[in-house]
Structure 1
Amino acid sequence: MTTCVFCDIVSGTAPARTIYRDDDVLGFLDIRPVTRGHTLLVPRTHASGLADLSPELGGRLFAAGQRVAGAMRSSALAADGVNLVVNDGRAAFQTVFHTHLHVVPRHDGDKLSFAKGLVVRRDPDPDETAEILRAELGADLR
């Protein structure tokens, strides 16, 4: 039996900087962010890819993405835009086979290239970043 790191995060047996939580979706900062605030949203129920994800749960995942994206724009992160990305399958660069939505804050002129950003991905203060997003989402997850 293989283990799923995202299932471990959902169950609380693996660490994460959680910034969003509801009955169906958990959100936490990516450990290798493309930009500051890069968040992963995962369904609490394991689905290895989009084919395994119910449309209803997919809708709830996307709704959570909209909420987190709004927090990225209105918080001190002051994002000018947001990328919502799902990598579905190995050929699409999916590396953890538990469906997840990347919510990536963008800033005018950041010249971010996802391929280039995958090489150098560091947040200078991930604890502060998590706190900014938690505060904006009204989430007390400590």
Structure 2
Amino acid sequence: MSQTNQPITYDDNNIFAKMLNGDIPYHKVYEDDKTLAFMDIMPQAKGHVLVIPKQKAVDLADLEAEYAAAVLMTCKKVMQAQRQVFEREGIIQMQLNGAQAGQTVFHYHVHLIPSSIHELGRHAATQVESDRLADIAKQLAAVIVD
């Protein structure tokens, strides 16, 4: 639902759909047949990763069970990598459903943020240099175990 309480229909031109179609570059951390994990270009903390399904779903209510399970398994792999690379136990898992909750890209996604809720930076405030994101993505990808 939007801020006017109207259901949001999936937009094939959203940024994540464009990434899945290969139209927009991204810094991949992990990919399988049902999911993609990549660096958030405007992270709330160093190592902020987004995990998306390869299904057209606006929010959790639209997500098929097999894709929901796949997203959670990818989140688990990425979190283990974040813990190893950043030497920290605390990882924020955040998932927003609808504009009223703060969702800005209407393709289901999970934020995995190596931070404390008390230290979390503002979302979409500052874009990080592509080279830095590429380096972090490589570090995380190198330790993910299938």
The alignment's TM-score, normalised by the length of structure 1, stands at: 0.84
Structure 1 residues 16 and 91, CA gap change in structure 2 (3 angstroms) = same
Q: CA deviation at 1:55?
A: 2.2
Structure 1 unaligned residues grouped into runs of 5+: none
CA distance, structure 1, for counterparts of residue 12 and residue 134 of structure 2: 30
Q: Give the match for residue 106 of structure 1.
A: 115
Pairwise CA RMSD: 2.1
Preserved CA contact (<8 Å) 2:34 2:54: yes
Pick the aligned partner of 2:123 from 105, 118, 124. 118
1:72-91 to 2 correspondences below 5 Å: 72-75=82-85, 77-91=86-100
CA distance, structure 1, for counterparts of residue 100 and residue 68 of structure 2: 21
CA distance, structure 2, for counterparts of residue 2 and residue 135 of structure 1: 31
Q: Deviations over 1:65-85 (max 9, x none)?
A: 01100000112x222211111
Q: CA deviation at 1:117?
A: 2.6
Preserved CA contact (<8 Å) 1:50 1:88: yes
CA distance, structure 1, for counterparts of residue 145 and residue 127 of structure 2: 25
1:1-142 to 2 correspondences below 5 Å: 3-75=13-85, 77-106=86-115, 111-113=118-120, 116-118=121-123, 120-121=125-126, 123=128, 125-137=132-144
CA distance, structure 1, for counterparts of residue 69 and residue 140 of structure 2: 21
Structure 2 unaligned residues grouped into runs of 5+: 1-10
Structure 1 residues 25 and 119, CA gap change in structure 2 (3 angstroms) = closer
The alignment's TM-score, normalised by the length of structure 2, stands at: 0.82
Aligned residues: 134
